[in-house]
Amino acid sequence: MGVIEDYVARIEETCGEEKDFIVIFKYERKDEAVTKILRKAKIKKSISRIIFELTFQNFSFRLYGTGKAIFRNLKDKSELKRLLANLLS
C-alpha cells in the first residue's frame, strides 16, 4: 500500500447510516493525484471542473479539484484502499 501513503494525507469516515469515506490527498501531491485519477477513471459528469463524478471498476465516486474525494457504498476501508492503490499506481 506504499502508493497510498505517498499520496493520501487522511481518510475520514463519516458517521450515520450510509458510511462515506472522504479521502484527502497530500497538499503537495494533490494535483498529481487528481491527474492520475482522472486519467484512470471514467468521467460521468463534471461540475465547473471542480467536482468530477467518476466510475472505476464498477464503483462511482466524486473527485474534487481541491484534492479530495468521496467514496460511497464501499464494503469497508480495505476495499477503499484497494481502489485507491489501483487508481494511484
Partner 1 sequence: MDPYKIREDFPILKRKINNNPLIYFDNAATTQKPKQVIDAINEFYRNHNANVHRGVHTLSQEASELYEDAHEEVAKFINADSMEEIVFVRGTTEAINLVAYAWGLWNLKKGDEVLVTLMEHHSNIVPWELLSRINGFKVKYADVNDDGTLNYEAFENAISNKTRIVCLPQVSNVTGVVNDVKKIVKMAHEHDSLVLVDGAQSVPHLPVDVKDLDVDFLAFSGHKMLGPTGIGVLYAKREILESMEPFHGGGEMIKDVTFNTVTRRCSISWNDLPWKFEAGTPHICGGVGLMAAVRYLENIGMENVRLHEKMLTGYALRRMQELEKIKIYGPRDASSKCGIIPFGIAGLSSHDVALFLDHYGVMIRSGLHCAQPLHEKFKLKSSARASFYIYNTREEIDRFVEVLKEIE
Judged by the rule CB under 8 A, the positions of this chain that interact with partner 1 are 14-18, 20, 22, 47-48, 50-51, 62, 64-66, 68, 70, 72
The x, y and z cell numbers of residue 78, run together, are 480495505
Shortest separation between residue 4's beta carbon and partner 1, angstroms: 20
Looking at the Cβ atoms of 2 and 17, the one nearer to partner 1 is 17
Distance CA 62, CA 67 (A): 11
Report DSSP state, residue 1. -
Shortest separation between residue 14's beta carbon and partner 1, angstroms: 6
Q: How distant, in Å, are the alpha carbons of 13, 47, 61, 70 from that of 22?
A: 6, 18, 10, 5
Shortest separation between residue 35's beta carbon and partner 1, angstroms: 17
